[in-house]
Structure 1
Amino acid sequence: MAKQNTYYLVEADILPEVIVKTARAKELLSKGEVATVTEAVEAVGISRSVFYKYKDGILPFYEASRERIVTITMELIHEFGVLSNVLQTVAKHQGNVLTINQTLPLQGLAIVTLTMETKSMDIDIPSFLEQLINLKGVKKAQVVGHNEQNIN
C-alpha cells in the first residue's frame, strides 16, 4: 500500500529556520529571481544539501492548493472589455473557469465572482491576483474561498 502524506498548515514563525529558508529558496527559483539552486541557497544562507533534503516537503500555502477550486471576487469598472481581459488572463495561465457571476453595475462598478480550477495553472495564486489587479478596470481582486476536493 502506498504511503499517504499528511499535511499541516502552520505559521512560518514556529518552523525551524532551515525550513523557512528552503521555502524562500524555492520561491526565488519559481519567480525567476535566481537562475540556479546554488544562487538560491547562497541568497538565503543554507547549503545545497539542506535545500535538497527539505525541498519536496515544504509548499507555500497557495501552491498546496493546486488541483483545487478557488473562488475569487473582483470589483470591476463597468467598461467595455474589462471582464474579457480578466477571462483572457485566466486562459493565459491555463485556469479553468467553472462559474462566473456578475452583479448589475451600480455607480460604475460590478462585482464579479469567479470560481475556477487551478490544477493546470502555470502561476501561483498571489501572482495571479497581482496580475488581475494590474489589469485596466480591475479595482480589487481577492480569494474568498477554496475547495479542497479535486476535480476529475
Structure 2
Amino acid sequence: MAERYYVVREDILPEAILKTIQVKELLSSGGAATVHEAVERAGLSRSAFYKYKDGVYALNEIARERIVTISMDLEHRSGVLSRVLGLIAGQEGNVLTMNQSIPLQGFANVVLSVDISQLAGELSELLELLGRQIGVRKALVIGQG
C-alpha cells in the first residue's frame, strides 16, 4: 500500500501526537539533551514517542528539506571540483553525497546531492553560476525531492 499524507489542524490531533512533536522540538532546539529528558518534560512515554516519531512532522519542517541531484561534466584539471564545491557552499548549499566517474577524454561526470533548503537565491541562479565556472561543461538538475 502506498504511503498517504494528510494535513491536519493541530487542535484535533491526539495528545500523544502533539507531545511527540513537542519532544522532537525539545531535542532539535537543545531544550533537552536526551530522549529520556525530553519525554519526561513533555509528559509522554518513551514507547509512544518511538511509535510516532518517524511519522509526525511539522509542515514547516518538511518544507525546509529540499534536496536536488545535480549532474555536471567537469574538465579533468586540478581545482575544478574544488571551485564547484566552494561555489555551492558559498551559496549556502550543503553537499550531501558526491559521485565522480573516472575521467574520459578529459572530462569526468560528477553527480551531487545537495540540500538547498538554505540556498541564497534560486536554484536556477545556482545552476547558472555553476555553468559559468571555468572547467564546467554542463550542469543540470536530474532529480528533485
Tell me the TM-score normalized by structure 1.
0.54
> Whole-Å Cα distance in 1 between the matches of residues 113 and 139 of structure 2?
13
1:93 aligned residue: 91
2:23 aligned residue: none
The structure whose residues are more often helix, as a share, is 2
Q: From 122, 125, 140, give the equivalent of 2:123.
A: 125
Count of paired positions: 86
Q: What stretches of structure 1 move > 4 A for 4+ residues in a row?
A: none
- Give matches, 1:2-151, under 5 Å: 67-147=65-145
Partner of 2:99, secondary structure, is strand
Partner of 1:105, secondary structure, is coil
> Whole-Å Cα distance in 2 between the matches of residues 116 and 126 of structure 1?
14
Larger Rg: 2
Query: Superposition RMSD on alpha carbons, in Å?
Result: 1.6
For residues 72-122 of structure 1, the C-alpha deviation after alignment (integer angstroms, 9 at most, x for no partner) is 000000000000000000110111110000000000000000001011111
**Structure 1 unaligned spans of 5+:** 3-64, 148-152
Partner of 2:117, secondary structure, is coil
Post-superposition shift, 1:66? 6.1
Distance verdict in 2 for CA 1:73–1:66, change over 3 Å: farther
Q: Which amino acid aligns with 1:138?
A: V
Distance verdict in 2 for CA 1:92–1:105, change over 3 Å: same
Post-superposition shift, 1:67? 3.1
> Whole-Å Cα distance in 2 between the matches of residues 79 and 123 of structure 1?
28
For residues 1-49 of structure 1, the C-alpha deviation after alignment (integer angstroms, 9 at most, x for no partner) is 25xxxxxxxxxxxxxxxxxxxxxxxxxxxxxxxxxxxxxxxxxxxxxxx
**Structure 2 unaligned spans of 5+:** 1-8, 11-62
Partner of 1:140, secondary structure, is strand
Partner of 2:86, secondary structure, is helix
> Whole-Å Cα distance in 2 between the matches of residues 66 and 140 of structure 1?
27
Post-superposition shift, 1:123? 1.6
> Whole-Å Cα distance in 2 between the matches of residues 123 and 68 of structure 1?
14
Tell me the TM-score normalized by structure 2.
0.56
